[in-house]
Structure 1
Amino acid sequence: MNRRDLIAALAASAATGVPLAAQAQPSTIKYVVPFPPGGLTDVMARIAGQKLGDALKVSVVVENKPGGNAQIGAETVAKGPADGSQILAVTLTHAANVTLFPHAPYDFVRDLRPVALLAGSPMLVVVPETSPVKTFADLVALSRQKTLNAGSSGNGTPPHLTMALFNDINGSRMTHVPYKGGAPSMTDLIGGQLDVIFSNYPESIAHVKGGRLRALALCSAARHAQVPDVPTTAEAGMPGLLVESWTAAMAPARTPDALVERYARELIKALYSPEIEERAKALGFRPSPMGGEAFAAFLADEIARWGRIIKAANIAAG
Structure 2
Amino acid sequence: MRIFDWAAIGCAAMLAAGTLPAAAQDFPAKPVTVVVPFSPGGASDTIARVVTNAMQPGFAQPLVVENKPGANGAVGAAQVARARPDGYTIMQASIGAYAINPALQDDLPYDPRKDLDMLTIAVRTPNALVTRPTMEAATLEELIAKLKAEPDSMLFASSGTGSSDHLTAELFWQVTGTSGIHVPYKGGGPAQTDLMGGHADASFQNLGAIANFVRDGKMKLLAIAAEERSPEFPDVPTLKELGIEGMEVYSWQAFAAPKGLDPANRQTLSDQIAAALKTPAVSDQLKGMGFEIIANTPAEADAFVAAEIDRWTEVVKAGEIKPEG
Q: Distance in 1 between matches of 2:218 and 2:123?
A: 28
Deviates more, 1:110-119 or 1:150-159: 110-119
Letter aligned with residue 109 of structure 2: P
Pair 1:164 & 2:170 matched: yes
Identify which of 115, 123, 144 aligns with 2:119: 115
When the two structures are superposed, what TM-score results if normalisation uses the length of structure 1?
0.89
Letter in 1 for 2:39: P
Within the alignment, does 1:280 sit opposite 2:286 as a pair?
Answer: yes
How far does residue 259 in structure 1 lie from its aligned partner after superposition?
Answer: 1.0
**Per-residue deviation, 1:69:** 1.4
C-alpha contact 1:26 1:83 (8 A) present in aligned 2: no
* Alpha-carbon contact 1:149-1:175 (below 8 Å) kept: yes
Equivalent position of 1:245 in the other structure: 251
1:185 and 2:191 correspond: yes
Correspondence for 1:85: 88
Encode CA deviations 1:155-194: one digit per residue, 9 max, x unaligned: 1000001001101100111111101111111111111111
Distance in structure 1 (CA, Å) of the matches to 2:206 and 2:299: 27
Supply the distance in 2 between the matched residues of 1:316 and 1:25 (Cα, whole angstroms): 42
Which residue number in structure 1 is paired with residue 139 of structure 2?
Answer: 135
Q: Cα RMSD (Å) of the superposition? A: 1.7
Mind listing any 5+ residue stretches in structure 1 that lack a counterpart? Answer: 1-19
1:289 is aligned to 295
Q: Is the CA contact 2:28–2:61 (under 8 Å) kept in the aligned structure 1? A: no
Contact 2:92 2:256 in 1 (8 A): yes
| Matched residue SS, 1:260 | helix
| Secondary structure class of the residue paired with 1:289 | coil
Q: Is 1:106 aligned to 2:119, yes or no?
A: no
Q: Are 1:233 and 1:241, in contact at CA under 8 Å, matched by a contact in 2?
A: yes
Q: Which moved more, 1:251-260 or 1:100-109?
A: 100-109
Q: Report how many aligned residue pairs link the two structures.
A: 298
Q: Corresponding residue for 1:30?
A: 33
Q: 1:195 aligns with which of 194, 201, 208?
A: 201
Structure 1 segments of 4 or more deviating over 3 A? none
What is residue 207 of structure 1 aligned with on the other side? 213
Q: Distance in 2 between matches of 1:62 and 1:142?
A: 47
Shift of 1:269: 2.1
**1:175 is aligned to 2:181:** yes
The answer to whether the 8 A contact 1:114-1:292 is kept is yes
One-letter identity of the residue aligned with 1:240: G
Does residue 1:69 correspond to 2:69, yes or no?
Answer: no
Cα distance, 1:275 vs structure 2: 2.4
Measured after TM superposition, the shift of residue 243 of structure 1 is 0.5
Residues 209 and 290, structure 2, Cα contact 8 Å, conserved in 1: no
2: CA distance between counterparts of 1:213 and 1:77?
A: 39
CA deviation vs aligned residue, 1:48-67 (integer Å, no higher than 9, x gap): 22223233232112111111
Are 2:49 and 1:49 aligned? no
Kindly, what percent of the aligned residue pairs are identical? 34
> 1:126: Cα distance to partner?
0.6
TM-score, L = length of structure 2: 0.87
User: Aligned with 1:172: secondary structure?
Assistant: coil
AA matched with 2:67: N
Please, which moves more after superposition, 52-61 or 285-294? 52-61
Which deviates further from its counterpart, 77-86 or 175-184? 77-86
CA distance in 1, matches of 2:60, 2:141: 52
Q: Deviations over 1:119-164 (max 9, x none)?
A: 1011011111111121122222222122221010001000001001
Quick check: 1:222 aligned with 2:228? yes
Secondary structure class of the residue paired with 2:295: strand
CA–CA distance in structure 1, aligned partners of residues 295 and 210 of structure 2? 25
Q: What residue number does 1:309 align with?
A: 315
Indicate conservation of the 8 Å contact 2:29/2:60, yes or no. no
Question: How far did residue 24 of structure 1 move?
Answer: 4.3
Deviations 1:180-236 (A, max 9, x none): 111111111111111100112233222112211111111101222222222211222
1:12 corresponding residue in structure 2: none
Question: Within 1, Cα distance between the matches of 2:192 and 2:105?
Answer: 27
Between the aligned partners of 2:81 and 2:133, the Cα distance in structure 1 is 44
Distance 2:58 2:317 in 1: 43
Query: d(CA) in 1 for partners of 2:282 and 2:148?
Result: 42
